[in-house]
Amino acid sequence: MTSIPGPIGSAPLRVVIADDQASVREGLVLLLGGLPGIDVVGAAADGQQALDLVAEHQPDAILLDLHMPVLDGIGATRRLTAEHPGVAIVVLTTYVDDTSVLEALRAGARSYLTKDADRTDIARALQAAAGGLTVFDPRVHDMLLAAATAPALPGPCRPAPPDGLTQREVEILALIASGLTNPEIAGRLYLSNHTVKTHINRIFAKTGSRDRAAAISYARTHHIG
């Protein structure tokens, strides 16, 4: 990743960190707070706390996990973009599946890193994002390039999924209806168990399903799977 230092003699970059895992959140606060040019002004355990801290401190940038309770990273990104457009959003997450990356970027994230990035790379990405630039993890860059250069497949246009379901959620719902367990779905789609569980919780909420049986009934009613 190219070095992007902050302006010499400029004020420290004021940053909010949001991650639901306390060990990760506290580690990022220590790592980034110890760097010159970075001032961590707040740390949030969920998306709503992140919004509250941004409203309170008006930081230059926010380092945001995608999968958090109360309000997830995608929802928080949309709200931040609408309510605090001057705050640069850098996603730092474990997941590089195409749905997560594209949803984050469409929602307004400026940069996308994975949690194996070191603190110097994270700091550079924050500085770059605050300066209006975009930084991607190399794997994210490769995935976006592959998506952009993939030939369009001929065929009929698919109707939009019902009840606000995303295409990924429809895919997972179809696998649930086929009888697959969470670990089996994770293996099939190359996702983590946590990501699958998060998608399933969203599916249940959007479809009004209390359990897997209700979700399967919904899938059959809507010819999913």
Asked if 147 contacts 105 with a C-beta cutoff of 8 angstroms, the reply is: no
Torsion sign across C-alpha atoms 3, 147, 206, 175: negative
Report the pLDDT value the prediction gives residue 1, as an integer from 0 to 100.
41
The fold adopted by the segment(s) 13-145 is Rossmann fold (3.40.50)
Enter the tokens of residue 95: 């997941």
For 53-88, letters b (16+ CB in 10 Å) and e give: bbeebebbbbbbbbbbeebbbbbbbbbbbeebeebb
Q: Which CATH class is domain 162-220?
A: mainly alpha
**What are the start-end ranges of the E strands in 136-187?**
none
Backbone angles phi, psi at 118, to 5 degrees: -85, 170
DSSP state of 161: P
Report the pLDDT value the prediction gives residue 189, as an integer from 0 to 100.
78
Backbone angles phi, psi at 90, to 5 degrees: -115, 120
Backbone angles phi, psi at 62, to 5 degrees: -130, 135
Asked if 110 contacts 20 with a C-beta cutoff of 8 angstroms, the reply is: no
Matching residue, tokens 């949001």: 18
Backbone angles phi, psi at 169, to 5 degrees: -65, -40
- Give the residue from 105, 106, 220, 219 showing the smallest Cα distance to 172: 219
**What are the start-end ranges of the E strands in 143-209?**
none
Query: H or E element: which one contains 92?
Result: strand 88-93
Report the pLDDT value the prediction gives residue 94, as an integer from 0 to 100.
82
CB atoms near residue 152 (< 10 Å): 5
Report the pLDDT value the prediction gives residue 172, as an integer from 0 to 100.
92
Query: Which stretches in the chain have pLDDT values below 70?
Result: 1-9, 96-98, 139-159
List the chain domain ranges: 13-145, 162-220
Quick one: how far is CA 6 from the chain centroid? 25
Which pTM value belongs to this model?
A: 0.62
Enter the tokens of residue 193: 């168990």
Q: How far is 163 from 166, CA to CA, in rounded Å? A: 9
DSSP state of 162: G
